[in-house]
Structure 1
Amino acid sequence: MFNLSLVTTIFFGLNLDFFIILLFLIQKYKFKDTFLGYELGMSVIFIISAVAGQTIQNFIPEWTIGILGLIPIYVGIKGESEETERKSNSHKDAITVMLIYAAGCGADNLAVYIPLLSKMTVPAIMLTLLYFMVLVGVTMLLALLVQRIPIIKKFLEQYSEKISRIVYILIGIFVMYDNGLIQKLISLF
């Protein structure tokens, strides 16, 4: 069964934190690359959730999802020079955005989507996926409009590179902690 208000609330609730990151990603990458990466990331997480249902929880320990936290940490540490940005590769940029989305939102989204989608019919799952893809477009347009507000634009132009690197590292650490990877590693010693 497709419940419009429920899936809308779930989408925006799970993607609210990523909206802030989008403001920085739009500054760093082309709009189309950010949009494509966001769409791909959301779709991959959604499809994995739909296919996995409840079975993923029986076979994969939650702490292993924390390994995805290494992706935003790497991006935050590596950064990009001005020259690298000018020569950026669209496919690489879209994949980077996709991986940042998957690492930052993947575990939470999986935890919510798996039980939600396991109770839906296949047509309802397909309708939900299409609806989420539309909501990604709406979110991207909102982020584009917000980042054009003069005071926000000036702030992002001045500080986006430094702040985004810090945010990436913090997201990575949070993903590793939230999924129990850090606790698992500490318990090994």
Structure 2
Amino acid sequence: MDYLLGALGVAIVVFASTDVDDLFVLLGFFADPKFRLRQIIIGQYLGIATLFGASVAASLLVLVIPAAYIGLLGLAPIYFGLKRLWEVWNGIDTGDNPEDHEKASAGHGNIVAVALVTIANGGDNISVYTPLFATRSAYEILAFGCVFAILTAVWLGVAHALVNHPKLGAPIKRHGYRVVPFILIAIGVLILYEAGTAGLFWN
């Protein structure tokens, strides 16, 4: 029992330390009127589940994916950031237009966007989770998954609460969607830089 509690503690520390920057990404999505709550929640869980599943598979195969190749995931937030920047620059973002909200709710594109950005932003997590899972039992890995699922809900709740805060919410909603493209582009560039992905192109 104490051993399992210790594993839960490790899971909390690992998730919090590797996903703290994800809070800022979620703030950006919640502040963007083109993204619905349901889309963000589903996309975030799909992204986290993909990272978790990839790490478990890698640990079973005793495989550590080279950081340079993981860094290629940084191209996803750069793409979405440039796309959103182009929309904002050309006045395509219509904010409170109900018709736009209906279109946003109907499509799956936003869910995919959130999932891909989550995966790209957490791509380096695989290099942390893989060796950790490789030394754990199946029960411990399952416990890690449960903790990650709960903390993902906490992350979503905190970001949603901040955006809807009586004082903080208004400025975040007013200016957040303009900041989102730059946040996404910066995250993508940082991922490429830290992973040393540029070396793949030079070589």
The two structures have a TM-score, normalised by structure 2, of 0.83
What is the CA distance between 1:71 and its match in structure 2?
0.7
Q: Which residue of 2 aligns with 1:13?
A: 17
Deviations 1:83-141 (A, max 9, x none): 6953224422111111001111122x111100111111112212211221111112111
Q: Distance in 2 between matches of 1:10 and 1:133?
A: 13
What is the CA distance between 1:152 and its match in structure 2?
2.3
2:67/2:195 contact within 8 Å kept = yes
Q: Which residue of 1 aligns with 2:45?
A: 39
Asked whether 1:63 is paired with 2:68, we answer yes
Task: Please identify, of 75-84 and 2-11, the stretch whose mean Cα deviation from structure 2 is larger.
Answer: 75-84
Q: Distance in 1 between matches of 2:28 and 2:16?
A: 18
Q: Distance in 1 between matches of 2:66 and 2:144?
A: 27
Q: Kindly provide the amino acid, as one letter, of the partner of residue 9 in structure 1.
A: V
After superposition, residues 137-176 of structure 1 pair within 5 angstroms as 137-176=153-192
Q: Kindly provide the amino acid, as one letter, of the partner of residue 76 in structure 1.
A: G
Q: Distance in 2 between matches of 1:27 and 1:85?
A: 15
Q: Which residue of 2 aligns with 1:133?
A: 149
Q: Which residue of 2 aligns with 1:25?
A: 29
What is the CA distance between 1:11 and its match in structure 2?
0.9
More helix, by proportion: 1
Bigger radius of gyration: 2
2:135 aligned residue (115, 119, 142): 119
Q: Which residue of 1 aligns with 2:112?
A: 95
2:79 aligned residue (68, 74, 77): 74
Supply the RMSD in Å over aligned alpha carbons.
1.9
- Partner-residue secondary structure (3-state), 2:21: helix
Q: Distance in 1 between matches of 2:108 and 2:172?
A: 24
Q: Distance in 1 between matches of 2:160 and 2:116?
A: 20
Change in Cα spacing, 1:143 to 1:113, as seen in structure 2 (3 Å) is same
Q: Kindly provide the amino acid, as one letter, of the partner of residue 94 in structure 1.
A: I
Q: Kindly provide the amino acid, as one letter, of the partner of residue 106 in structure 1.
A: G
Task: Please identify, of 141-150 and 3-12, the stretch whose mean Cα deviation from structure 2 is larger.
Answer: 141-150
- Partner-residue secondary structure (3-state), 1:106: coil
Q: Which residue of 1 aligns with 2:122?
A: 105
Change in Cα spacing, 1:152 to 1:183, as seen in structure 2 (3 Å) is farther
2:67/2:196 contact within 8 Å kept = yes
Structure 1 unpaired stretches of 5+: none
Q: Kindly provide the amino acid, as one letter, of the partner of residue 171 in structure 1.
A: I
2:68/2:197 contact within 8 Å kept = yes
What is the CA distance between 1:68 and its match in structure 2?
0.9
- Partner-residue secondary structure (3-state), 2:152: helix
* Alignment length (residue pairs): 184
1:103/1:172 contact within 8 Å kept = yes
